[in-house]
Amino acid sequence: MSTDWLRDAVIYEIYPQSFADSDGDGIGDLRGAIDRLDHLQWLGVDTIWFNPLFASPFADAGYDVADYLRVAPRYGTNDDLVELVAKARERGIRVLLDLVVGHTSIEHPWFQAELNADGPSPEGDRYVWADDPPLRDTSGDIPGTAAWVRSPGPRPGWYLKNFYDAQPALNFGWGSLPDDEPWRDAVDAPGPRRNRESLQEILDYWLSRGVSGFRVDMAFSLVKDDPGHVQAIALWREIRAWLDEHHPEAVLLPEGPEPRTDGSLAFSADFFLVIFQAHASLFDSGFAGRLPFHEPMEPFFDARGLGTTEIFLRHWDAARDADPQRPIIMASADHDYDRLRCGPRTPEQLGAAWTFLLTWGSIPSIYYGDEIGMRYLPGMPDVEGAICNPAYNRAGCRTPMQWDDGANAGFSSAAAASLYLPVDDAPDGPTVAAQRDDPGSTLNLVRRLIALRRDVPVLGGRASTDVVHGGYPFAYLRGGTHLVVVNPRQQPASLTTGIAAAAEILLGEGCTVSPSDAGIELHLEGFGYAVLALQTQ
């Protein structure tokens, strides 16, 4: 596998509807993204991850695909995407696409063909159909989301959905085949085989046009009732073997960590999702709401200083104990929950968080707008399925990118009422233009941290990370030669490290260093942070 480039990547996630609108219709598009590539090159990122770009009726913001081989017209054309990929590559930037393969839209021709048939396809059904809904839950590893929907067309019976009714689950087979549910297909039945072949065709189509890989939505739930995800992982190993032969540099990124089964790993990294405990224990204040499985907790990176790193470190150590060299992606935020700057958090609180995210040793993923401290906006309208739980409004993290002080913050020339979502209209709303001219801005800090990560390789994804102190301040050694210390709380914090070395601050704010017989003494003001180079005495 030749995907080693991923270890050094800095990813930038673009929610295309909200990034940059070139044609004035109020919705972001690929031409707008092409026009903003210079910003990403200046920032220092080298990989873009686009949320779904494929043709869709947008019942779930594009996570309901109607044609995997065609760019949605509102974003442009296939040629526009090919041009973007080429122009990004000229700037040293790779492009990843979001692949939603667990389900399609009800408008996909595959589903329409089966919906309008009298019964099962002689070639094997691409979707899961039953004459009567089963008596027991068949949602497998996504409880509470998968369910049965009565067929609205000529085809009798019911179909299995994944989330919304408009998202019928694709049939990749079942891990368990009870006699009383004959509608369950084995993973090697004709329908699942057709879908595996189509998955390979989709990957090949876009990889042949210059795309560097895919983030795969719901990757491990393709095979239903699959204890330990054994059959799903076998499917992805088959895909990985094919990629190694035909597209060896292509990466596959999962939604979440890859389950460990006997044999090789199919995906190129694990992903610590922002909605789950490991990441949430660091950053989630609960301001944007909580899902049913969220346990209320004080985040570590918050002004009150009541959190702990213990939960995060336990998950991190478990992942690394299983595979010490396994890359792990950690995002500032993403399209499915809140933002790094959420609720009462102020810009001065972000420095410690960014210092951690860009030096910890994970692969960082920057959610668009987080580099300037865009805010999660509560109370946003339910656009394209954004509210899928009464306490879970995703629209607040999907508002338009704030480029400058022009109309609609430079996102679009459309009338404000025509925008995909409202722009943050606060007088002090952050913009790229204002922060580029401010050396003390969040944007310039993120840029300096990315540059430092490039200049000092041990701050990247290859060197060891050893925790020196897990409380306030949080301190850790990278590669044995560099010390990072962050104090996310408002109150000052001090630490005597026990490290016998001289220390030079390479980048920091609110940190003083004093030599001592007991080791380096650090004092950090509230929200202080520093990256230090050590010189052993």
- Cα 498 to Cα 482, 495, 515, 516, 520: the distances in Å are 14, 9, 11, 9, 6
Look at the block and give the residue holding tokens 């691409």: 126
Residue-level pLDDT at 377? 97
Q: Are 176 and 141 in contact (CB under 8 A)?
A: no
Band the pLDDT of 323: cuts 50, 70, 90: confident
> Is residue 357 scored above 50 in pLDDT?
yes
- In order, the DSSP letters of 446-504 are HHHHHHHHHHSGGGSSSS-EEEEESSSSEEEEETTTEEEEE--SSS-EEEE----EEEE
Question: How far, in Å, CA of 214 to CA of 250, rounded?
Answer: 8
Q: Mean pLDDT over residues 221-249, rounded?
A: 96
Residue-level pLDDT at 379? 93
Higher pLDDT, 139 or 106: 106
| Model pLDDT for residues 434-472, shown as the tens digit of each residue | 999 999 999 999 999 999 999 999 999 999 999 999 999
Burial class (CB in 10 A: 0-12, 13-18, 19+), 362: buried
Question: How far, in Å, CA of 46 to CA of 360, rounded?
Answer: 18
Question: How far, in Å, CA of 79 to CA of 85, rounded?
Answer: 10
Q: Which CATH architecture has domain 467-536?
A: Sandwich (2.60)
Residue-level pLDDT at 262? 83
Residue-level pLDDT at 372? 98
Residue-level pLDDT at 207? 98
Question: How far, in Å, CA of 447 to CA of 126, rounded?
Answer: 46
Joined together, the tokens standing for residue 382 give: 């339910």
Higher pLDDT, 390 or 128: 128
Residue-averaged pLDDT of the chain: 94
- Cα 420 to Cα 65, 166, 269, 292, 380: the distances in Å are 19, 21, 32, 28, 11
Q: Among 448, 412, 385, which residue's Cα sits nearest to residue 166?
A: 385
> Is residue 155 scored above 80 in pLDDT?
yes
> Is residue 135 scored above 60 in pLDDT?
no
Band the pLDDT of 144: cuts 50, 70, 90: very low
> Is residue 140 scored above 70 in pLDDT?
no
Joined together, the tokens standing for residue 433 give: 């233009």
Question: How far, in Å, CA of 312 to CA of 276, rounded?
Answer: 10
| Model pLDDT for residues 176-215, shown as the tens digit of each residue | 999 989 999 999 999 999 999 999 999 999 999 999 999 9
Q: Are 167 and 64 in contact (CB under 8 A)?
A: yes
Residue-level pLDDT at 322? 79
Q: Mean pLDDT over residues 336-365, rounded?
A: 96
Residue-level pLDDT at 193? 98
- Which of 15-29, 138-152, 389-403 shows the lowest per-residue confidence on average (mean pLDDT)? 138-152
| Model pLDDT for residues 28-47, shown as the tens digit of each residue | 999 999 999 999 999 999 99
Residue-level pLDDT at 143? 40
> Is residue 141 scored above 90 in pLDDT?
no
| Model pLDDT for residues 295-322, shown as the tens digit of each residue | 888 999 999 999 999 999 999 999 988 7
Residue-level pLDDT at 137? 47
Listed in sequence order, the residues at least 6 apart from 417 whose beta carbon sits closer than 8 Å to its beta carbon are: none
Q: Give the CATH number of domain 4-100+270-453.
A: 3.20.20.80
Q: Among 289, 286, 307, 309, which residue's Cα sits nearest to residue 298?
A: 307
> Is residue 60 scored above 80 in pLDDT?
yes
| Model pLDDT for residues 255-298, shown as the tens digit of each residue | 999 998 888 899 999 999 999 999 999 999 888 888 888 888 89
Q: Are 127 and 116 in contact (CB under 8 A)?
A: no
Q: Are 239 and 206 in contact (CB under 8 A)?
A: no
Band the pLDDT of 145: cuts 50, 70, 90: very low
> Is residue 522 scored above 70 in pLDDT?
yes
Residue-level pLDDT at 139? 41
Joined together, the tokens standing for residue 180 give: 């009383």
* Percentage with pLDDT > 90 across the chain: 87
Tallying the residues shown for the chain, one arrives at 537
Residue-level pLDDT at 537? 61
Residue-level pLDDT at 122? 95
* Percentage with pLDDT > 70 across the chain: 97
Band the pLDDT of 142: cuts 50, 70, 90: very low
Secondary structure (3-state) at 13 = strand
Paired sense of beta strands 67-71 and 54-55, if any = antiparallel
Higher pLDDT, 94 or 389: 94
Residue-level pLDDT at 146? 54
Q: Mean pLDDT over residues 488-514, rounded?
A: 95
Q: Mean pLDDT over residues 362-382, rounded?
A: 97
| Model pLDDT for residues 526-537, shown as the tens digit of each residue | 999 999 999 876
Residue-level pLDDT at 516? 81
- Cα 195 to Cα 56, 125, 308: the distances in Å are 19, 9, 44
H-type helices in 148-251, by residue range?
190-207, 230-246
Residue-level pLDDT at 136? 44
Domain boundaries, the chain: 4-100+270-453, 467-536
